[in-house]
Structure 1
Amino acid sequence: MLFRQLFDYTTYTYTYLIADPDTREAALVDSVIEQVDRDLKLLKELGLTLRYCLETHIHADHITGTAELRAATQCQGIVPQNAQAQCADRFIADGEVLRVGRVPIAAIATPGHTDSHMAYLVNGTHLLTGDSLFIRGCGRTDFQSGDAGTLYDSITQRLLTLPDTTLVYPGHDYRGHTVSTIGEEKHWNPRLAGRDRASFIELMGSLNLPNPQKIMEAVPANERCGNMAALAS
């Protein structure tokens, strides 16, 4: 498997490139519109054909590059089942396995940050957690139909039950971390370690975080797969 972690410094967003080195088929997870040229350049340099642009959820902090990447490569735009994104070529359901060449990408429903959110387990070893589980943190639950109790259930029942050696790759990081493991997060994540469901809900309700700077433009744009022309019309 070919695997790359890419970073957008403006929104602290990680984009992930997954490819089969034999078939040269590739997928991008959580692309960023300002980084489309970077991603296309890397695909060309590595001799890859982009088949899929996947989203973990409808983002509120950045605009997806799916529309531009789809126009350039004829890839499919894929979003979680029940997400409000009629622009998508297809929706992916919990338990569904998408294959990039011979590399399996298994969808794991992890609602809570939003009401339609997926994590993706790649090749059985690399867990792309989106905005559910962060390194030593977790996604917020105070907008886009988020729910703290649901997020706690998703993380503890769907993610922390994976093998301790599973690599954790989040959708964002604000402190310079790049990768963790399920075992590490069980023991060292301050929002989860030693907390029951009630104390987690209480903690999340007390965060009082400011809204993402781009929320007013990002959410409607991402419901159109980042098609800014459609948004303007």
Structure 2
Amino acid sequence: MNPIQLFDAESSTYTYILAAANGEAAIIDPVDRHCERDLAHLRRLGLRLAYALETHAHADHVTSSGRLRELTGARACAPSGCGIAPAEVQLEDGDVVRFGGEEVRVLHTPGHTAGSVSFLWRTNLFTGDTLLIDGCGRTDFQGGSAGDLYDSVRDKLFALPDETRVWPGHDYRGQSVSTIGWEKRNNARLAGRSRDDFIALMAALDLPQPKMIDVALPANRRLGLVHTV
């Protein structure tokens, strides 16, 4: 089965469900306001949620990983460098998350935030905010670094086979999927650009703070829960 791609129009966030042949599943970057929607998809397909995976501590929406864990018994997985202490699985570069005979490989891809990761499942790459379709995530908060993001994309993501499908954490222009080969040749921020040029480009963006950062960031460090044990 291909990844199931779900969208939150308010934050332009993509959530993904990965399904194994035995009915176990993992979800990537779920959004709190869509918890019931995501549970309905799992029920409709006869899937049992084994893992809720976070690519980083989000600043523009609140995760539902904690709530999904409570409702399904799934285990929450978060990058070790993101300060999400309630997640029982703290992910490191090279880790493999296994469910139902499937494997999700963890790639530490810092730059958008210091702890950001991407996930590789089969020939599908879930890039969070590190690599977007024809773009990339901002690098000006949460320990972000334009130089680190450039290195993450060039040295880790662009080193993958060209046919690897790129599933981003966000899209603002109605796009849903790309490939590593297309991004290497065409990405407006990264293709053909030197590291120094990229750093200068990102420094000149002068973006406003995400509207929800003061609410979302502390909530997401608690897996979206008001209280944690």
TM over 0.5: yes
Q: What's the CA shift string for 1:69-109, capped at 9, x where partnerless?
A: 11110111100122201111111111111112112100011
Aligned: 1:60 with 2:52: no
Q: CA deviation at 1:228?
A: 2.5
Q: What is residue 167 of structure 2 aligned with on the other side?
A: 169
> 1:219 is matched by which residue type in structure 2?
L
Taking the aligned partners of 1:115 and 1:162, their CA distance within structure 2 comes to: 22
Match status 1:200 vs 2:198 = yes
Q: Does 1:3 align with 2:24?
A: no
Moved beyond 6 Å, runs of 4+:
none
> Normalising to structure 2: TM-score of the pair?
0.98
Counterpart of 2:39 in structure 1 is 40
Q: For 2:125 and 2:44, how far apart are their aligned partners in 1?
A: 26
SS in 2 for 1:113: coil
Looking at structure 2, the residues matched to 104 and 114 of structure 1 have their Cα atoms a distance apart, in angstroms, of 24
TM-score by length of structure 1 reads: 0.96
The aligned residue for residue 106 of structure 1 is 105
- CA offset at residue 186 of structure 1? 0.6
Superposed CA RMSD: 0.9
Aligned with 1:53: secondary structure? Answer: strand
Taking only the aligned residue pairs, the percentage that are identical comes to: 50
Q: Paired residues, what number?
A: 228
Structure 1, 1-10 or 207-216: larger mean CA deviation = 1-10
Shift in Å, 1:229 = 4.2
Consecutive unaligned residues of structure 1, counting only runs of 5 or more, are none
> Partner of 1:130: helix, strand, or coil?
coil
Cα distance in 2 for partners of 1:89, 1:46 equals 26
Q: Which runs of 5 or more structure 2 residues have no equivalent in the other structure?
A: none
Kept in 2, the 8 Å contact 1:2–1:20? The answer is no
Partner of 1:210: 208
> Which stretch of the first structure deviates more once superposed, 156-165 or 221-230?
221-230
Residue 138 of structure 1, CA deviation? 0.2
The equivalent residue for 2:15 is: 15
